């Protein structure tokens, strides 16, 4: 049996109608290499399994012909098994499940509620990576459109058309300038890595992308054919109030936790968000209201600042230290300091800060 060159990985949860649109765009891709499509379904009860079974039957019988398709596979998972503290962890568990079934030299992720607006984008990205074997990924822009609006009203993101075709980008370019999503990428697969041991339920879009930054630069393809649909119920829209403030303010620490190779870059990129969070909390006299879901997530994370936000009841010592950290962060920003070890030690602990190579 010929193994696929490309694995197209799709996750879904009670999104059967949207999944049909997604798979139509995927199966419509004109690929001149063997490829597989793997759908990972997290607890759907809306006819998803029956739809995939019918699609598999049509392909097997020859009723539907998809050139170079080796298989459309269906796997189920139960994100309750990962003891999720938030929706992002459920998605991470689902993405980890589908990745563990992939066999291709390359893989790409697409969520069931998104789709492709051309029939050759994956082949174009494959060709670009074959031309640039030194690169770990091929990036395109996404076409962002809001639910209910015509596709013509979408916007190109994140480069906004400012990059030239075949531009080679370093990880710092993505981290600090463009902040691109995983969906922008065709990612070179590294099968020797056991992601389940490295990341588990935290294997989300960002972690997938950041992990592969460690294997080489990124080559840019001047296209924007991945349609990223923004829904009111999406993860980024459900975070409200202090949950939104604190989780985004500490997001760079989450990245350092799993990908310490770019710790300095993450600290530089996240400093402004940290200062903003501390400024807003100062205006509230360092009192906050976080949901139990967010507190539970922080309770299972090591580090001083996570333990502070594990409860809505702040101690006087904690409030004083947060004020001090704000002053330190402002000094870092004002004088462009890069001694990140000290600031990270204040936020997490000195022992963890000493284990990171801040001079990379």
Buried residues in 186-222 as b, exposed as e (16+ CB within 10 A): bbbbeeeeebeeebebbbbbbbbbbbbbeebbbbbbe
3-state secondary structure (DSSP) of residue 302: coil
On the question of a cis peptide bond just before residue 158, with omega within 30 degrees of 0, the verdict is yes
- What phi and psi values does residue 274 have, to the nearest 5 degrees? -65, -45
In tens, the pLDDT along 33-63 reads: 999 999 999 999 999 999 999 999 999 999 9
270 sits in which H/E element: helix 263-283
**Who's near 152: CB < 8 A, 6+ residues apart?**
none
pLDDT computed for residue 205 by the predictor: 87
Determine how many CB atoms are found less than 10 A away from the CB of residue 152: 6
**Who's near 23: CB < 8 A, 6+ residues apart?**
10, 37, 39, 55, 72
94: its two tokens: 């689902």
Cα–Cα distances (Å) from 103 to 73, 91, 98, 197, 360, in that order, read 12, 21, 11, 19, 33
Helix axes 263-283, 241-249, angle to 10 degrees: 150
335: its two tokens: 């004088």
The closest alpha carbon to 226, from 255, 267, 183, belongs to 183
Contact 188, 137 (CB under 8 A): yes
246: its two tokens: 């604190």
277: its two tokens: 């969070």
7: its two tokens: 């694995």
Contact 63, 27 (CB under 8 A): no
pLDDT computed for residue 179 by the predictor: 76
pLDDT computed for residue 183 by the predictor: 82
**Is residue 54 packed enough to be buried (19+ CB in 10 Å), middle (13-18) or exposed (0-12)?**
exposed
CA distance 333 to 356: 21
Cα–Cα distances (Å) from 340 to 176, 260, 324, in that order, read 16, 12, 16
* Domains (range + CATH), the chain: 6-233 (3.90.550.10), 239-354 (no CATH)
CA distance 262 to 270: 12
Cα–Cα distances (Å) from 174 to 139, 159, 168, 170, 180, in that order, read 10, 10, 11, 7, 6
Query: Which residues of the chain have a pLDDT value below 50?
Result: none
pLDDT computed for residue 89 by the predictor: 93
- Angle subtended at Cα 21 by Cα 12 and Cα 209, rounded to the nearest 5 degrees: 50
97 sits in which H/E element: helix 87-99
């Amino acid at each position: 049996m010929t193994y696929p060159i490309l694995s197209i990985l799709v996750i879904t949860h009670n999104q059967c109608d949207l999944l049909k649109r997604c798979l139509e765009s995927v199966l419509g891709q004109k690929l001149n290499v063997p490829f597989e499509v793997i759908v990972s379904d997290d607890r759907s009860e809306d006819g998803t399994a029956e739809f995939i079974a019918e699609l598999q039957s049509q392909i097997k019988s020859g009723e539907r012909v998809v050139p170079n398709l080796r298989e459309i596979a269906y796997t189920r998972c139960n994100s309750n098994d990962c003891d999720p503290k938030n929706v992002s962890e459920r998605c991470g568990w689902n993405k980890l499940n589908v990745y563990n079934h992939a066999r291709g030299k390359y893989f790409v992720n697409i969520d069931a509620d998104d789709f492709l607006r051309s029939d050759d984008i994956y082949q174009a990205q494959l060709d670009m990576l074959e031309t640039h074997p030194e690169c770990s990924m091929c990036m395109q822009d996404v076409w962002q459109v809001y639910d209910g609006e015509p596709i013509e009203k979408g916007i190109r993101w994140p480069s906004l058309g400012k990059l030239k075709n075949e531009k080679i980008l370093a990880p710092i370019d993505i981290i600090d300038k463009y902040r691109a999503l995983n969906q922008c990428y065709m990612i070179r697969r590294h099968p020797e890595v056991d992601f389940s041991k490295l990341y588990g339920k935290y294997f989300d879009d960002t972690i997938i992308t950041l992990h592969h930054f460690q294997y080489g630069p990124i080559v840019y393809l001047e296209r924007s054919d991945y349609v990223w649909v923004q829904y009111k119920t999406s993860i980024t829209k459900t975070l409200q109030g202090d949950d939104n403030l604190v989780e985004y303010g500490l997001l760079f620490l989450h990245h350092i936790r799993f990908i310490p190779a770019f710790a300095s870059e993450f600290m530089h990129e996240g400093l402004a968000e940290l200062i903003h969070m501390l400024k807003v909390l100062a205006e509230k006299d360092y009192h906050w209201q976080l949901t139990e879901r967010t507190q539970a997530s922080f309770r299972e994370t090591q580090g001083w600042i996570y333990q502070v936000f594990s409860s809505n009841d702040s101690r006087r010592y904690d409030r004083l230290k947060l004020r001090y950290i704000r002053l330190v962060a402002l000094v870092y920003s004002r004088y462009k300091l890069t001694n990140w070890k000290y600031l990270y030690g204040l936020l997490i602990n000195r022992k963890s800060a000493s284990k990171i190579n801040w001079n990379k």
